[in-house]
Amino acid sequence: MKRYLPLLFITAPVLGATPALAQVRGVVEMFTSQGCSSCPPADRLLTRLSASKDLITLSFPVDYWNYIGWSDTFSQPAFTVRQKAYAKARKDDNVFTPQAVIDGVGQSVGSNAGAVQNLLASDKGRGGALCVPTRLARRDDGLLVTLAASTCTAPGAADVWLLKLRERATVKIGRGENAGRTLTYSNIVLSMRNIGRWNGTAQTINVDAADGDYVVLVQKNHGAILGAAQSNE
């Protein structure tokens, strides 16, 4: 069943010319819950999409269905806040699971593969989406984020976020709408922290980070994702 909620209301110096950086084709954020019976098809879609090297896929488990009998083992209140902030920025009431947010600017039912692919094809450049070529590389002492100047009109300075991921997890659901099912999740967001600001020009950011999988996002408030990159080292 499609579930709705009412809408509630440090950077290092630039190192000269920036080398050509790869741009991803899109960023898919899936707002999901282990307690939502309509979410498993969307979770499977996210797993299929994660096989595409030019896509960044992120699973954000929300906490607002925890009361119905099963507390999502990865849910965080901050992910619910993020989903609602997107709805507020879009000026709509669309807060539900499963919900896919594409490049920070488009949204659809998370299990609708056609709608997700259409948004991936049409959203680039909208509101500055994916206009900042970005690289995330592992260094001995952490991670190096390299940001280029914008390749199209972008909405000014933006925050740079570092997300730590768990690549895959299989969970046996004990209660709730999915009781008795064993479900697999991909690219589960474990944490999200602000590591600096992109000021519109080429720049680098050095970050202390333990081993693991990480994604960097460049985003102003809850608008378009201006840049994104992933490291799996």
Q: What is the pLDDT of residues 203-228, one digit of tens each?
A: 999 999 999 999 999 999 999 999 99
By 3-state DSSP, what share of the chain in percent is helix, strand and coil, each rounded to 5? 15, 40, 45
| Nearest residue to 204 via CA among 152, 157, 165, 149 | 149
- For 215: left if phi > 0, alpha if psi spans -120 to 50, otherwise beta; the answer is beta
182/173 Cα distance (integer angstroms): 6
Q: Report the pLDDT averaged over residues 60-71.
A: 96
**Which residues contact residue 117 at a Cβ distance below 8 angstroms, ignoring those fewer than 6 apart?**
none
Whether the Cβ atoms of residue 153 and residue 130 lie closer than 8 Å to each other: no
1/99 Cα distance (integer angstroms): 12
| Nearest residue to 164 via CA among 211, 132, 103 | 211
Check pLDDT > 50 for residue 6.
Answer: no
**How much is the pTM?**
0.89
| Nearest residue to 31 via CA among 67, 66, 82, 69 | 82
82/192 Cα distance (integer angstroms): 11
Q: Which of 12-16, 62-66, 90-94, 135-139 has the lowest mean pLDDT?
A: 12-16
Residue 111 has, within 13 A of its CA and on its CB side, a CA count of 16
Phi, psi of 26 (to 5 degrees): 180, 165
